[in-house]
């Protein structure tokens, strides 16, 4: 079974009601959208690597935020947080929180997924408490 289908089944079995947003033109990647506790997450699937898991939570940056301070906050989080990568995209005016890891099996277990779905919003909350408030993307 393709990694995107396997992850879709896992998320469905866990009650998340995922939707396949897109598959890459070269059929090497896919994007799956799902919600948890009112937040929209994206699972970015590398179809050539079934043991790789990448989940993202994104926010629009509000006007008036100091870019240097945002990048500093992202760097602080990247240094102090486990698993979560924080990326400030000034050109598109977004900040993204990514969890990337290698799995031992071809689908995550429910406990691992819960840790990820807790870690991403916690990092976002810490980031915005330090710098500025922002509306969530993909909501």
How do residues 12-22 score in pLDDT, each as one tens digit? 999 999 999 87
Chain segment 22-49, per-residue pLDDT in tens: 765 666 889 999 999 999 999 999 988 9
pTM of the model: 0.87
Tokens at 8, concatenated? 């879709």
Confidence band, pLDDT 50/70/90 cuts, at residue 139: very low
DSSP notation for 96-123: EEEEEEE-SSSS--HHHHHHHHHHHHHH
DSSP one-letter code for 132: -
Instruction: Round to whole Å and give the CA distance between 55 and 12.
Output: 16
């Amino acid at each position: 079974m393709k990694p995107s289908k396997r992850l879709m089944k896992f998320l469905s079995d866990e009650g998340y009601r995922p939707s396949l947003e897109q598959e890459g033109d070269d059929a090497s990647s896919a994007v799956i959208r799902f919600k948890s506790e009112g937040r929209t997450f994206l699972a970015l699937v590398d179809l050539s690597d079934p043991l790789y898991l990448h989940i993202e939570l994104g926010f629009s940056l509000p006007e008036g935020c100091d870019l240097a301070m945002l990048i500093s906050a992202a760097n602080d989080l990247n240094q102090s947080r486990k698993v979560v990568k924080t990326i400030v995209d000034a050109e598109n005016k977004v900040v993204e929180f990514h969890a990337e890891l290698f799995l031992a099996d071809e689908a995550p277990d429910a406990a691992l997924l819960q840790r990820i779905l807790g870690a991403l919003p916690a990092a976002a909350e810490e980031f915005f408490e330090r710098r500025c408030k922002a509306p969530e993307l993909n909501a």
